[in-house]
Amino acid sequence: MWKRCGLISLIKVYLGEWPLIENLLSNGNNAEHKSVMKLVFVTGKGGVGKTTFASAQALNLASRGQKVLLVEFGPKSQLQYIFDISKLAKIKYKRLRVPASMEVVMWNFEEVLVEFITYYLKIKTLVKSFFSSPIMKKLIKVAPSLRELVYLGKATSAYRKIGKDMNYDTIIIDAYSTGHFLALMRSPVGMMKAVKKGPMNSQCKTILEVLKNPNLVDYYVVSLAEQLPIEETIEFVDVLKEEFKIQPKIIFNKVKEPLSKEADQSCIFQSYYNKSTINQDQQIKKLKKYNINLNIPFIYENKITKIVDEVQAQIGIK
Ligand SMILES: Nc1ncnc2c1ncn2[C@@H]1O[C@H](COP(=O)(O)OP(=O)(O)OP(=O)(O)O)[C@@H](O)[C@H]1O
Ligand SMILES: [Mg+2]
C-alpha cells in the first residue's frame, strides 16, 4: 500500500500537484534573501585544484572572522583528506583541523531529500515509508535532474527561507567539474520546460533567480594555464554568460614562476620548465578580456594539507 502511495507521491511531486510536498525544493514564490550571506560555487576542469582552492578560500575567510560552511556533494568525500576527517564519521565530521568558525559538510543526495521531505511532511513514519519502498528508491535514482535540483534547492534554501536555518557569512560549494556543473545549472531550466506551470515551475524559477543574482552568488572557475584547460574554461565561461548572464571569476592554479637567469639552460628539465612558463603566459593572455581574479603559484609540496595551507597563505596575501 505504501509502495503505491509512494509511487503516486513522487509522480505528483514531479507534476507539482501534491500540495503537502509541492514545495519540496522551495516554498517561496519570491526570492527574498538575506543580503549578507554569500554563496560561492567552485568549478573547473577535473583535477585542476577545485577542492584545494575551495578549502583554502574557506580557511582564508574563516581566519578573517567569517562564519563559513564548506560543502561537498556526496557520496564520495575529498575534503576528509584535507581536514583529517574520520572516514567513518560520514556527515558528522570529526573536526580536527577545522577552525571554530568553519564547518565542513558533505551533502548526500538521499539525506538532503529526506531532510526536505521531512520538513514538509513533518510525519516521520510517512517519510520512512516513502523511502523504504524499493520502487521509490529506484525511481529517485533515475528521476532526471532530481539530484541536481535537490542540491541547488538546498544551496539556495536560506535565501528562499525554507528548511533549516543557514546562519553563515559564506557558503562555499566544492562543486562538479565544468560539464556536470552545466547540467547542475540547467536542471531548474529543464524542469521548467518539462513542467510548464504550477509550484514546481515557480520553485525552479526562484532557484534560478538566486543563482543569477550577482549580489548573492559568486562563481569561481579554476583553470591551469595550459592550452586544454584554458580552451575548456573559455567555452564554459561563454556558455555560462550566454545562458545565465553569469560572469564567473577565473583562478589560475599551479602557475609556475620562471627560473632565475642564472639557471642552467643546458639542463633539459630547466629548459623545458622555462619554455612552459613562457607558454603559460601566452595562454593566460587568451583570457585577458575575462574576469581573471587570481594566480595561485605551483606549491612544491606533496602533502595535500600543506598545499592547502600554502594556497590559503597566497590567497591571504592577494
Ligand atoms: N597550487 C598547487 N600547487 C601544487 N599542487 C596543487 C596545487 N593545487 C592543487 N594541487 C594538487 O593537485 C591535485 C588536484 O587538486 P584537487 O584535488 O584540488 O583538484 P580537483 O579539481 O578538486 O580534482 P577533482 O576534479 O578530482 O575533484 C591534488 O593532488 C592537489 O594536491
Ligand atoms: Mg575535487
Judged by average pLDDT, the poorest of 140-144, 277-281, 284-288 is 140-144
| For residues 60-89, average pLDDT | 84
Quickly state the pLDDT bin for 275 (edges 50, 70, 90): confident
Candidate of 41, 43, 45, 51 to mutate for ligand 1, largest count of ligand atoms within 8 Å of Cβ: 51
C-alpha cell read off for 35 = 543580503
> Residue 222 to residues 72, 161, 184, 284: CA-CA distances in angstroms?
16, 30, 17, 13
Residue 267 is predicted with a pLDDT of 81
| For residues 233-254, average pLDDT | 96
C-alpha cell read off for 272 = 623545458
**Using a 6 Å cutoff on CB, does residue 23 contact ligand 1?**
no
Judged against a pLDDT cut of 80, whether residue 10 lies above it is answered with no
Residue 233 is predicted with a pLDDT of 96
Q: Which ligand lies nearest to the CA atom of residue 304 in the structure?
A: 1
| Whether the bond into 75 is cis, omega within 30 of 0 | yes
For 99-123, what is each residue's pLDDT tens digit?
Answer: 778 888 899 888 888 887 777 666 6
C-alpha cell read off for 98 = 577545522
Contact 294, 276 (CB under 8 A): no
Within the chain, residue ranges assigned H as helices are 2-15, 50-63, 79-82, 109-121, 124-132, 134-142, 146-155, 178-194, 199-211, 227-244, 268-285, 304-317
Judged against a pLDDT cut of 90, whether residue 23 lies above it is answered with no
Name which of 130, 138, 158 is nearest 39 in CA terms. 158
Judged against a pLDDT cut of 80, whether residue 28 lies above it is answered with no
Going from the Cα of 53 to the center of ligand 1, the distance in angstroms, rounded, reads: 8
Going from the Cα of 188 to the center of ligand 2, the distance in angstroms, rounded, reads: 24
Residues whose CB falls within 8 Å of the CB of residue 8, separated by 6 or more in sequence, listed in order: none
**Whole-number Å distance between alpha carbons of 122 and 137:** 20
**Using a 6 Å cutoff on CB, does residue 45 contact ligand 1?**
no
**Whole-number Å distance between alpha carbons of 287 and 249:** 11
Mean pLDDT of the chain: 82
Residue 29 is predicted with a pLDDT of 43
**Whole-number Å distance between alpha carbons of 318 and 312:** 10
Residue 200 is predicted with a pLDDT of 75
Global pTM? 0.86
**Whole-number Å distance between alpha carbons of 104 and 81:** 12
| For residues 69-74, average pLDDT | 92
Quickly state the pLDDT bin for 18 (edges 50, 70, 90): very low
For 138-161, what is each residue's pLDDT tens digit?
Answer: 666 666 688 899 999 999 999 988
In this structure, the residue with its CA closest to atom 24 of ligand 1 is: 47
Q: Which domains, ranges and CATH numbers included, belong to the chain?
A: 2-317 (3.40.50.300)
Residue 154 is predicted with a pLDDT of 93
For 203-225, what is each residue's pLDDT tens digit?
Answer: 889 999 999 999 999 999 999 99
Judged by average pLDDT, the poorest of 17-21, 67-71, 136-140, 196-200 is 17-21
**Whole-number Å distance between alpha carbons of 183 and 217:** 18
Going from the Cα of 174 to the center of ligand 2, the distance in angstroms, rounded, reads: 7
> Residue 314 to residues 158, 254, 294, 297, 309: CA-CA distances in angstroms?
31, 12, 10, 8, 9
| For residues 177-181, average pLDDT | 96
